[in-house]
Amino acid sequence: MINFFRKSRLTAIGIDLGARSLKLAQARVSLDDVQLVASAAVERSSLTDWSAADAARLRELIARRGFRGNRVVLNAPAAALRIESLELPPGGAASPAVRKVAGVELGRIARFKPASFQHDLWDLPALARGGTASHVMAVALPHAAADPLVDRLLDAGLDVLSLFPMPLALNALAARALASADDTVHTLIDIGWTATRFVIGHGPDVLYHRTLDDVGVATLRETLLAAAGDDLPAELADHVLQEVGLALDNSGAAARMRRPLQQAAESIAHELKLTHAYIGHRYQHLSLGQLFLTGGGAAIPGLVDAVGELSGQSAIALSPPAFDPAATAAWPGLCGALAGALYVEEAWA
């Protein structure tokens, strides 16, 4: 039921625990409007462990960067999250029997012990080949991966409402940007520090998810440093990634550094075409719609346009101003935190 008395509401603080940095975002939502209330990003104290220092830094940021309250939602650890397409007995995702079978099947695939994980599932569109089986997408997260994160935040004095699956939250954010549902699928490419994530969605539902580990900004930075050679300072790689991008000249040392950027765009476009070929075969009645790029990698100058041109699609960067034109924080890397805040808010509205 729509609650007409909740005309405007403040979301919890979305936290994106990334491989390199912590991102936070909080918004005020009113019907279809989103206002970015506060945002922040800071590098993690450790790139390997989720530490008490990280939790304390989060609490400090919340206290001094304009965030309101201490209610937080956190992205589920990507390495532990399992998202699987399953073919199950008839009945659909709403059937208790199908949900029970899905839990057993997820446990078997991921080798999770019974009662050691939480899971959810949703129906997929009918396949081209038809049939009576239930085709669902399911997501699972083991308690052992979630509990230490939650405990750290609780110890820091934060009220943890939920953990959210990043692919589902980003897909919902992309669907919100489209503001309409039709017979097309949208594509979101999230280019992070250590991995690149491909998400195909139809409205609010994820149809396909794939993560390319060790394919992210960190690898690209290392390649740029190697291409620059000993005659150029290491700081130049960061300058190229943040300020110049594919606008580099095609001559001399600049050409050496431009080549890895072009190759990165070609690699993403290649993987995108393979993904779309799979989706086209599986869901022949759906056509390709909008292509979004987000994450820190989407901020590399020229990369979004290059991927769009190479893939033959119109590509746009997904960033906070797409939802709040007045937002001063325009870094696409904040979209994960914003997606989580809105995703959990909409689930409870």
List pLDDT tens digits, range 13-29: 999 999 889 999 999 99
- Looking at residue 298, its pLDDT comes to 97
| Structure-token pair, residue 282 | 């599986």
- Looking at residue 231, its pLDDT comes to 66
- Looking at residue 7, its pLDDT comes to 63
**Which residues touch 222 (CB under 8 Å, ≥6 apart)?**
none
Q: Are strands 13-17 and 21-30 parallel, antiparallel or unpaired?
A: antiparallel
- Cβ–Cβ contacts within 10 Å for residue 218, how many? 18
Task: Report the C-alpha dihedral over residues 161, 165, 168, 169, rounded to 10 degrees.
Answer: 50
CA distance 303 to 317: 10
CA distance 259 to 220: 11
Q: Is the pLDDT of residue 253 over 80?
A: no
Label residue 113 exposed, middle or buried (CB < 10 Å: 0-12, 13-18, 19+): exposed
CA distance 205 to 151: 30
CA distance 245 to 196: 18
| Structure-token pair, residue 164 | 């959210």
Residues in the chain: 349
**Which residues touch 235 (CB under 8 Å, ≥6 apart)?**
none
- Looking at residue 181, its pLDDT comes to 65
Q: Is the pLDDT of residue 179 over 80?
A: no
Confidence band for 2, pLDDT divided at 50, 70 and 90: very low
Q: Is the pLDDT of residue 150 over 70?
A: yes
**Which residues touch 61 (CB under 8 Å, ≥6 apart)?**
22, 24, 40, 42, 67
Q: Is the pLDDT of residue 245 over 70?
A: yes
- Looking at residue 257, its pLDDT comes to 83
Q: Is the pLDDT of residue 159 over 70?
A: yes
Identity of the amino acid at 172: A
Q: Is the pLDDT of residue 30 over 90?
A: no
Confidence band for 1, pLDDT divided at 50, 70 and 90: very low
List the one residue out of 92, 176, 196 whose CA is nearest residue 138. Answer: 92
List the one residue out of 7, 11, 5 whose CA is nearest residue 348. Answer: 11
Label residue 262 exposed, middle or buried (CB < 10 Å: 0-12, 13-18, 19+): middle
